Amino acid sequence: MRAIAMFNNKGGVGKTTLVCNLVSYLSLRLGKRILVIDADPQCNTTINILPEEQFERFYYKREGFTIYDILRPLHRGQGYSEKINFYPVEKFGVDFLIGDPRLSLMEDLLSNDWKDATSGEPRGLRTTLVFSDLLRKCEDYDYVFFDMGPSLGSLNRAILLACDFFLTPMSLDIFSLLALENIGQTMDAWRRRFSQGIENNLDPDAIEGLRKEFNIKFVGYVTQQYTAKTVDGVRRPVKAFDQILDSLPIVLKQELIDKVNGDIKGIQYELGSIPNLHSLIPISQSAHKPIFDLEYKDGVVGAHFSKVEEFNQIIHEISIHLLRNMEEMS
């Protein structure tokens, strides 16, 4: 099993659209066993993939198990949760741990215990490693994907510490480039402080079987939501984005790849690019289906069909490229 975080500390980059379609393609088209965990308190992935009747049951009637229930026992001083429920989502072909807005209430718990963790206190380390404990209960899956909110807070730190890889969706703007610098610097600091906590650990048995290294790797990025034009039969971003595209490989190497991955050779980090899909996204959201699987009965008409097929090819290439990168970096 490999765990992948969908992470960018800048919002509005199309992260939810990418994760929902990527995981469903890996499952429905490539036969992978996938678990998706909605760890974003905004719960956009949950809204996107859950059928209406399930959403009503989980949120209005408060029935069912959510990611908040993973951390609530820790908050009460009861240790890790033994009860974990994942829900199958047929249209996306994945199992799902439902998101919960109350997850944001756990930021203080994770932040306060992080201080103890870096000092080697067993309680602080166990709280910080809560998602490492969750993942060791998910070995039946090929891949576990975390959808995450746009922050460098304590919740995302705990998730990233538990994961093997992170994938960064990006919009083509200057703020995305600035965000990369923040990610690289922050992860480097987290790694050093966590290593110090492990070295000073006062009770090694307290974290037996849990991750003891912050060794996540950057597996690649996907650019999204650009305005495209066709040149010699090839779709390319319009000229306004050219300067950003030219700067991106340099900034990535200096601010992210070198700081997080170190000296890993031969990796093509650009996994693919997704143009503006316009009305296909709300159609997909209304149908609670991946874009590549949309049909006439879902509201697809006319030129939509060629867009669906185009997206099918795009998400196929992204999926294959992602799998290849993970294999080469493992």
pLDDT along the chain (330 residues), means of 10: 92 84 97 97 92 79 86 90 91 95 93 95 95 96 96 95 94 72 89 95 92 94 69 58 70 85 87 86 91 92 89 96 95
The pair of three-digit structure tokens given for residue 317, joined into one six-digit string: 């290439």
What tokens were used for 11? 């919002």
Gap between the Cα atoms of 125 and 171, Å rounded: 35
What DSSP state is assigned to residue 292? Answer: G
| Residue 127 tokens, joined | 């709280």
Which is the CATH superfamily of the domain at 2-277? P-loop containing nucleotide triphosphate hydrolases (3.40.50.300)
Q: Which 3 state secondary structure label does DSSP give 258?
A: helix
Q: 39: Cβ–Cβ under 8 A, 6 or more apart, which residues?
A: 67, 99, 103, 146, 147, 148, 149, 155, 156, 159
Q: Are 166 and 220 in contact (CB under 8 A)?
A: no
Distance separating alpha carbons of residues 289 and 92, to the nearest angstrom: 6
Amino acid, single-letter form, for residue 49: I
Q: How many residues does the chain have?
A: 330
d(CA 186, CA 189): 5
**Model pLDDT, residue 90:** 93
Phi-psi region of 79 (alpha: psi -120 to 50; beta: other; left: phi over 0): left
Query: Residue 312 and residue 306: Cα distance in Å, rounded?
Result: 10
Residues 6+ apart with CB under 8 A from 213: 195, 198
> Quick one: pLDDT at residue 113?
95
Evaluate whether 277 touches 311 at the Cβ level (below 8 Å).
yes
Identify the CA nearest to 177 among candidates 255, 112, 272.
255
- What value, to the nearest 5°, has the Cα angle with vertex 252 and ends 248 and 254? 120
What's residue 170's pLDDT? 84
Residue 231's pLDDT is what?
58
Sequence-separated (6 or more) residues with CB below 8 Å from residue 139: 1
- The 3-state secondary structure of 226-245, one letter per residue: ECEEEECCEEEECHHHHHHH
pTM for the structure as a whole: 0.91
Strand order, beta sheet including 94-97: 87-89, 94-97, 34-39, 143-148, 2-6, 165-171, 217-226, 270-275
Find how far residue 318's CA is from the centre of its chain: 15
For the CA atoms of the chain, what is the radius of gyration?
20
Cα–Cα distance measured from residue 245 to residue 242, given in angstroms and rounded to the nearest whole number: 5
Count of Cβ atoms closer than 10 Å to residue 203 Cβ: 13
- Residue 318: the pLDDT is 97
Residue among 8, 329, 6 at smallest CA distance from 184: 8
